[in-house]
Structure 1
Amino acid sequence: MLSHRDINVRVDGIEPSVAVENPSNALELSTILEEASAEGHAVIPIGGGTRLEVGGAPTKYDVALKLGKLNSIVSHNPADLTCTVESGITLENLRSVLSEHGQFLAIDSPFPEQATIGGVIASNAPGFLKWQLGHPRDSVIGMEVALPNGTLIKSGGQVVKNVSGYDMARLHIGAFGNLGVITKVSFKLTPKPVRESTISIEFDDLSLAYGFAQEVYKSYVMPLSLICSHDFDKSSSSCKSLVRIGGRERALKRQKDLITEIGIRNHSRSIEIIDQPESDQLWIDVLNESVKGVDSEGYIKINTRSSCAPSEVEHAVRLIWTSLKDTGCLLSINSEPGFGAIFCNIHLPEKKSRDESIGLIQKIRESLHEIESWLIVEDVPTEWKSVLDVWDGGQISSIKLMDSLKATYDPDSVLNPGRFVTFQS
């Protein structure tokens, strides 16, 4: 049996049957994978353990491959705004070092003090720093990966423009470690805003909040983040918008004034300006709650993630609410109207049977499919995974592509068997 110190290597209640490995460098990791592949062992890479609940239950689990010792900054060139780090460094530790040079990595994630860079990239962890700064994959300029047979490969490097043809590093972003284990990542960095603030604006109706977001999108303001937050347990119509902005003092004031004007023009009920450090903590809390929610007695908590065209976000939110209305469920949603991402915390009454609850999830999916959206269930009771396709694979075309890539890169299913794709040897 594993000691309490190794409890975080459990995946869906399953412990590794052979070993827990803690390599100190990429070469040791490569050797472990080579031996596991030769012996037919299944390996699950583990970073900070913040996203282990995502995905299907593993069909086989022999070796836990912990990456926490690969936690160094390999190089940092402040003048070029680039750095290369090992995959086991936490997002918070990297932020701290970069901040000393007035720089930051334009990637955020739930639980940054625990989440590792490799895990954030591999699991495409949710984050709200997209409105101005783009998708996390846009910050990646190079990568070193250990393939399932232990071979170390590199793509890109610590130069912002260095790729001709397809950027192979992108195969591993959001692949959940199915094609290889990320060992190092090179990033382009961003100057850190001198100051940041958050503007919290409440509206009496969803349409007003999304109208506000669209007007901000068309304005001269360039927010770092903008989300619409709904707690349908408290109100079926009201909505709060959170806008994160940054810059020098005069630029920050202009943005505050313009956003306030747009809020008033869209009939806001209240406007509050939140400065640092409270602003920083607010975004950490909101992001954590978006993916984990809050436990409620008498309910089963599940967390979902969807994506649609930005113009369809309000419609999608209403479809989700309509699907669960009068079912006894509790629902809260955070959405990114400029990016099309939707995160739901759903609390299903314990008195409902498993089949009834899964039926409600399928009802939401069917309504979202009508607008070419999908619903991934990221956190759900393990025993449901045998009868629920957590990935909504029939709707997401890239899942079929991943099946093909898995068969090519990992034909023996060494890495994460059963967790992301259905291919089995």
Structure 2
Amino acid sequence: MTALQTRMAPEDISEIITRSAGAIAQVQPDLGRGVTEAAGPAVWVEPQDEAQLAEVMRLCDEHGWRVLPVGAGTQLDAGYPVPRPEVWLSLARLNRIVDYAPGDLVVTVQPGLPLAALQAHLAEQRQMLPIDPPVADEATVGGVTATAASGPRRALYGTLRDMTIALRTVYPGGRVVRTGAKVVKNVAGYDMTKLFVGSFGTLAVLTEVTFKLRPVPLHRETVFLFGDVAQVQELRRRVVGSHLIPSRLEVIGGAFDPPLVSGSRTWTLAVDCDENPSASAAQTRQLLAWANEIGMEAEVVQGDAADQAWEAYRRQLLAGEVCVRFQAKPSALAGIAERLQQYAEARGWTSRVTAGAVGGAGRWSFAGGDVSAYAEAVRFCRGQAAEEGGGCVIERAPLAVRSMVDPFGTVPATQTLMEQVKRTIDPNRVMSPGRFVGGI
């Protein structure tokens, strides 16, 4: 049977999956509202283990049923609107920690486990997965892996792609494929693991993810330095060119309310340190000396207060109706951030803008307009980033906005290669078809 021969009623699809795979499969009358091109009846499937999931994938590939993998659903407002899938594949029941070796700083987990639950478990051993993306509390490991979500800690620790060392995946057709190895040191060659991180569920379904971990810092200390954009840029230049080792280095502006700390002004450079108390104190002294030279104000927070400030930062970035991520050379990010903030203020919008002053990536979260205005704002951000050799993608936006303006922007030079990979792994195009860059 080919994909062209297969249009079945949801009730028939549900019966086939239940009978053949043994997985929970229920027809939902209105799945996809706000997520897919059109809402309507579809089958919600909850496999209890990898074997059931593999059989579901085999059936979907055989019959040509489109599949949309789902964790907590917090990342579904990114990417292109997709045609309504016949099967929504929930990974909620695959939510265990499979293997944890604290002595090796390695953990293997299933994709349905909430990221917050994983971090809480690791914290009992004074360890962490060093990512802090602005995602909802219920976001799952699978969701953040599929979208390659990262946050300010990338300045020191790198991105989620750097921390993912192995995967178990189920390909369309039901074949289980392992990539990488559950050790930090691995053999040379092409790293297939990186292929699936950030693929938006368009290639295969993750069933296990193995991460390398880091110890929880013994001391946390953040210096918030306040001034205008020119002062922030000058201080950023000094930090980057120095011997200092910031774990986070963020330019922050806009309507953070309540403010992250009591002294917040319009523009802030937040410099975090995960070193021991004496090293952190030395870094703070240098920052305060430079701030005094430049004419900036400063506030130092430590321990739980520092954690609370960064948590407020993360949560408030989630408050906007639209959030875009822009990339450019790090030295240009503060200027781009200022122009984005001015754009929002001219329209009376609520706006928050941040820029990672090391990695070359920033976020702009805003609310207060309508669909067409939001689409124009995305185009404006894209133009600003393009002038500095960068780009802009939509991380979160209503379906109508993503239907009006391309979520990813310019098609990359690697588009042909990505399409070939898609054809090789998913020749029948059943996995989240059309959701990724260039409509893959």
Under TM normalisation by the shorter chain, which class is it? Answer: 0.7 to 0.9
Cα offset, 1:421, TM superposition:
3.9
Cα offset, 1:330, TM superposition:
4.5
The aligned runs of 1:251-400 (5 Å cut-off) are 251-269=279-297, 271-290=298-317, 292-294=318-320, 301-321=321-341, 326-350=346-370, 354-355=371-372, 357-394=374-411, 396-400=412-416
Aligned-pair identity in percent equals: 26
Distance in 2 between the 1:68 and 1:264 partners? Answer: 52
Residue in structure 2 matching 1:121, options 129, 140, 145: 145
CA 23–251 in structure 1, closer or farther in 2 if over 3 Å, else same: same
* Per-residue deviation, residues 54-77 of structure 1 (Å, max 9, x unmatched): 111111311111112212111122
Matched, 1:222 2:266: no
The aligned runs of 1:13-412 (5 Å cut-off) are 15=39, 17-111=41-135, 113-203=137-227, 205-231=228-254, 238-269=266-297, 271-290=298-317, 292-294=318-320, 301-321=321-341, 326-350=346-370, 354-355=371-372, 357-394=374-411, 396-412=412-428
Distance in 2 between the 1:228 and 1:268 partners? Answer: 14
Distance in 2 between the 1:266 and 1:372 partners? Answer: 29
- Contact 2:326-2:381 within 8 A present in 1 as well: no
- Contact 1:47-1:115 within 8 A present in 2 as well: yes
* Per-residue deviation, residues 254-308 of structure 1 (Å, max 9, x unmatched): 2322232233233212x22222323223222212332x234xxxxxx32211111
Range 120-129 or range 360-369, more displaced: 360-369
Range 333-342 or range 54-63, more displaced: 54-63
- Contact 1:92-1:112 within 8 A present in 2 as well: no
Cα offset, 1:418, TM superposition:
2.2
CA 356–95 in structure 1, closer or farther in 2 if over 3 Å, else same: closer
Range 354-363 or range 22-31, more displaced: 354-363
**3-state DSSP class of the match of 1:83?**
strand
**3-state DSSP class of the match of 2:168?**
strand
**3-state DSSP class of the match of 1:303?**
strand
Distance in 2 between the 1:187 and 1:42 partners? Answer: 29
CA 356–250 in structure 1, closer or farther in 2 if over 3 Å, else same: closer
Considering only aligned residues, what root-mean-square deviation do their CA atoms show, in Å?
2.8
Aligned residue identity for 1:406: K
Distance in 1 between the 2:272 and 2:48 partners? Answer: 38
In structure 1, stretches of 5+ residues that fail to align are 295-300
CA 137–364 in structure 1, closer or farther in 2 if over 3 Å, else same: closer
Cα offset, 1:208, TM superposition:
1.0
Distance in 1 between the 2:182 and 2:431 partners? Answer: 28
Distance in 2 between the 1:105 and 1:146 partners? Answer: 24
* Per-residue deviation, residues 98-117 of structure 1 (Å, max 9, x unmatched): 22222211222234631111
- Contact 1:91-1:112 within 8 A present in 2 as well: no
Distance in 2 between the 1:275 and 1:355 partners? Answer: 43
Aligned residue identity for 1:274: V
Cα offset, 1:324, TM superposition:
5.6
Range 256-265 or range 152-161, more displaced: 256-265
- TM-score of the two chains, using structure 2 as the length reference: 0.84
CA 293–398 in structure 1, closer or farther in 2 if over 3 Å, else same: farther
Distance in 2 between the 1:260 and 1:81 partners? Answer: 35
- Contact 2:31-2:42 within 8 A present in 1 as well: no
- Contact 1:212-1:263 within 8 A present in 2 as well: yes
- TM-score of the two chains, using structure 1 as the length reference: 0.87
- Contact 1:22-1:69 within 8 A present in 2 as well: yes
- Contact 1:110-1:284 within 8 A present in 2 as well: no
**3-state DSSP class of the match of 1:259?**
helix
Range 8-17 or range 219-228, more displaced: 8-17
In structure 2, stretches of 5+ residues that fail to align are 1-9, 11-24, 258-264
Distance in 2 between the 1:7 and 1:409 partners? Answer: 30
Aligned residue identity for 1:150: G
* Per-residue deviation, residues 185-208 of structure 1 (Å, max 9, x unmatched): 1111112211212222211x1121
Cα offset, 1:218, TM superposition:
2.5
Cα offset, 1:361, TM superposition:
3.1
Distance in 1 between the 2:439 and 2:327 partners? Answer: 25
